Amino acid sequence: MAARIRDFGWAATPLGPIEGWSQGLSVAVNMILAMPGPANILWGPAHVQLYNDAYIAIARDRHPELLGRPAAEGWPEIHAAVLAPVMEAALAGRATRIADLCVTLLGPDRQPEERAFDTTWSPIPDGADGFGGALEILMEVTDRRRTQAALRESEELRRIALESGGMGAWRWDTRSGLVRADDAFQALWGVSFSDALHPASVYADLMYPEGAASLAAVTAKPIVPEQEFQDQVQVAIGPNAGRWIQWRGRAERDRPWIINGVSFDITAQHLVQQRLREGEARLHRVLDGMGEGFGLLAPDFTILEHNHEALRLDGRRRDEIVGHSQWEAYPGSEHSEIGRLLKQAMFEREPAALEHRYTWADGRAYWLDMRAYPTSDGTLAVFWRDVTDRKHVEDALRTERDRSAKILESISDAFYAVDAEWRFTYVNGEAEAWWGRDRQDLLGKVFWEEFPQAIGSESYKAHLRAAETREVVRLEAMSPILNHWVDISIYPTADGGLSVYFRDMTRKKQVEDTQAILVAELQHRTRNLLGVVRSVAQQTLRTSASLDEFRTAFNERLGALSRVQGLLSRAGDEPITMDRLIRSELDALGAADIPERVTVQGPKVRLRKGTVQTLALALHELATNARKYGALTTDSGQLRVAWRTYTDETGRRLVMDWQEIGLVRQREEQSPTKRGGYGRELIERALPYALQARTSYNLGETELLCTVDLPLTEGAAPKTSAQ
């Protein structure tokens, strides 16, 4: 019933959703669910019904439709006359007891049968001063009622027999063994001898052996005058076989061998007593078969009953406990928590419950879950269960939970756990910090209701997969909750829930992305560099007159490329500027030794990486030409390199002027930068193609001016090969 009540659609009833129930109602429901006997709650003005598992045997065919329905619909035949007055009293704070409440129900054979109950209705507090409903504890008394009716019927029959002379009379001469009996007596035995004498053995032969033995015992010893005899015997054979007969006789004073007596049919009474004995035996078997202790206390706290489990827990014999006072049988219990529980339930006639650690006189100690229920006859039924092992397990679990909590709070990973219905059962400090949510506010809440933005994400699908397959799931995914990359590990738990660890992977992802970019750039640069080397080799070979000339020129140009690669490799820490690029080329040719003849001037301009390589090769050609053929070959020649920036419709641009003064034209015309040479081709064709540059190369009699105008903005992206 606990699961049925939890899953029931209460929102459609007058009680509303179960989450909104009052504390009084919730406590009462939990109480009846824990009771072993039938119990029932009627709540609110509509008298809505809730009940426990044991009540199903009473409801029978009305279950489960009774749950959540107004009592006027569930029990229309007794609502107006019984239940409505009971609820009126309960809502006013008054208890009600009803004995022998009769209700017609369908029996196991689907036929109507009348059943009787003793019921106790107790008001259920709801709020500070009011009452919200009534709790009913029932005890079925149908068998008792039938037994009492049978006894009354038997007594009535005996009365009629006595009043009408239907009781059989007889006279037995024990010396002769002859009997004279009236018709009523003979009819009891199914024989007919009129008024004639006949042997007593006739009746002995109709009895079972034990009955015949009781007759023989009468004559086995001397009979005392006025000695009385009585017994109950059963007819074994004949037309009245199975009938039970009670006989009573008294020996005459003067002739004690003559016994006068009467006999009457007690079959109905015997059957009632037999049913009572069978009922008591059945009850004892049920009680002794229970896994929990049971005791019955009289109003003065005398112990009337103890079942097998109670005796096992106690360790004493039944006669050492039953019939003794509770306070004597269990010294020290009267003023303990147990004593207070029993007195409260007995005097207030209200059920009571307690978990208590009780220590016996021999030092044994058990944790007991005790529940006491007042009965309609003034006694108190007490149930108790040994929960020592459960308590030890709970203590161990509590210790383990504390240990686990310390571990989960100490780890650097965020952690949370959800149950089978996605409700948070644990959130550690790391998860609390990452989510920016108070963990106490999250506990008991549904994950996807608290973080709806996660629904449909890769993380959401992974949770569902782990819950369905009950297998561990790991993944790296973008968290829609955090907007970070996270590494998630999801572990199914034995209770149907999930335990989830996650850590921030954003930095790792950034590093991986950066590495991927670097690898791609390295591959691109390698391909580009190989293309440049191949192009330089081809151009150098084409313009070289001999292998030695090729070797010298090619090595110098490879040196320039090497210097550029060195600058590029440090570009992340040391940005490549125009100044650094020019000076690296000039210093490689010894310009630092003649500072008075070399002038380098311009602002600090940062160059794009894609620009550096081709521009460096052009600067190398100009510098090499100046050193071997140009202004730096004479004593008075000057080299002036100046640059500036400006902005036009294409964006920000850089203009460099390479000016040589005091050169010898004849020698300069022998240089690689002469028209058609590699240097001039690099300046006039490669720079415009690869860097979108504007170039000019003007050679005079004593002066050279080369101008390179190239974009600095990203919009004018350079080509990826040097042609």
The residue to which tokens 């690029």 are assigned: 581
Q: Give CA 120 to chain center in angstroms.
A: 37
DSSP state of 21: -
pLDDT at position 227: 93
User: Is the pLDDT reported for residue 567 higher than 70?
Assistant: no
Residue-wise pLDDT tens digits, 86-108:
999 999 999 999 988 888 888 77
pLDDT at position 524: 60
Question: CA 142, CA 65: separation in Å to the nearest integer?
Answer: 24
- Sequence-ordered strand ranges (E) for 187-292: 198-199, 228-234, 244-251, 258-265
Strand order in the sheet with 96-106: 48-51, 39-43, 131-140, 112-125, 96-106
Do 411-504 and 2-140 have the same topology in CATH? Answer: yes
Question: CA 135, CA 43: separation in Å to the nearest integer?
Answer: 9
| Whether the Cβ atoms of residue 398 and residue 404 lie closer than 8 Å to each other | no
Distances (CA, A) of 523 to 133, 233, 267, 714: 81, 115, 111, 21
pLDDT at position 154: 47
- Helix (H), strand (E) at residue 10: none
Neighbours of 569 (CB within 10 A): 11
User: Is the pLDDT reported for residue 228 higher than 90?
Assistant: yes
Domain 513-711 = CATH 3.40.50.12280: no
Neighbours of 509 (CB within 10 A): 16
Please tell me the CATH superfamily of domain 2-140, with its number: PAS domain (3.30.450.20)
Question: CA 513, CA 579: separation in Å to the nearest integer?
Answer: 32
Distances (CA, A) of 315 to 85, 312, 334, 336, 361: 48, 5, 20, 21, 11
Burial (CB count within 10 angstroms: exposed 0-12, middle 13-18, buried 19+), residue 367: middle
Neighbours of 1 (CB within 10 A): 19
Distances (CA, A) of 703 to 585, 630, 668, 680: 21, 9, 10, 16
Residue-wise pLDDT tens digits, 25-58:
998 899 899 888 899 999 999 999 999 999 998 8
pLDDT at position 364: 80
Question: CA 604, CA 613: separation in Å to the nearest integer?
Answer: 18
Residue-wise pLDDT tens digits, 571-581:
555 678 999 88
Q: Which stretch of 172-186, 503-517, 616-630 has the lowest confidence by average pLDDT? A: 503-517
Q: What is the 3-state secondary structure (H, E, C) of 39-104?
A: EEEEECCCCEEEECHHHHHHHHHHCCCCCCCEHHHHCHHHHHHHHHHHHHHHHCCCCEEEEEEEEE
Residue-wise pLDDT tens digits, 314-372:
888 888 989 999 999 888 888 888 899 999 999 999 999 888 887 777 778 888 888 99
Q: Which stretch of 241-250, 528-537, 690-699 has the lowest confidence by average pLDDT? A: 528-537
Q: What is the 3-state secondary structure (H, E, C) of 271-318?
A: HHHHHHHHHHHHHHHHHHHCCCEEEEECCCCEEEEECHHHHHHHCCCH
- Residue 194 amino acid letter: S
Top CATH class of 147-272 equals alpha beta
User: Is the pLDDT reported for residue 294 higher than 90?
Assistant: no
Instruction: List the CATH code of the domain at 411-504.
Output: 3.30.450.20
pLDDT at position 309: 82
Give the mean pLDDT of 262-267. Answer: 89
- Residue 51 amino acid letter: Y
pTM for this model (two decimals): 0.33
Residue-wise pLDDT tens digits, 441-485:
999 999 999 999 999 999 999 999 999 999 999 998 889 998 888
Give the mean pLDDT of 616-620. Answer: 82
Spans of all domains in the chain: 2-140, 147-272, 290-390, 411-504, 513-711
Domain 290-390 = CATH 3.40.30.10: no
- φ, ψ dihedrals at 405, nearest 5°: -65, -40
pLDDT at position 161: 47
Q: State the Cα torsion 523-525-531-536 to the nearest 10°.
A: -150
